[in-house]
Amino acid sequence: MMKMKTETLFEVLTFDGEATLGFVRAYDKDHAKRIGERLYCKGVLVQPAKPFPKFDGKKFGEFNR
């Protein structure tokens, strides 16, 4: 039985690492670099994206729905 590949979120940066160009979902770092170069420009840097903070309903209150 084959194991499923899991995608993770990567942040695509400029070649000097100063500005974020965007985010891509990829299987690994090499795959993310290929996608980033195809979508944005050659010579990009990729790094795993930081997790987003979770919503705390007790701290901010619930939204009206």
Q: What is the predicted pLDDT for the residue at 49?
A: 92
**pTM of the prediction?**
0.72
Q: Is the pLDDT of residue 59 over 80?
A: no
Q: How far apart are CA 12 and CA 8, in angstroms?
A: 13
Q: What are the tokens at 33?
A: 């670099």
Nearest to 32 by CA among 48, 18, 21: 48
Q: What is the predicted pLDDT for the residue at 50?
A: 87
65: pLDDT confidence band, cut at 50, 70 and 90?
Answer: low
4: pLDDT confidence band, cut at 50, 70 and 90?
Answer: confident
pLDDT digits (tens, 9 = 90+) for 8-51: 999 999 999 899 999 999 999 999 999 999 999 999 999 999 88
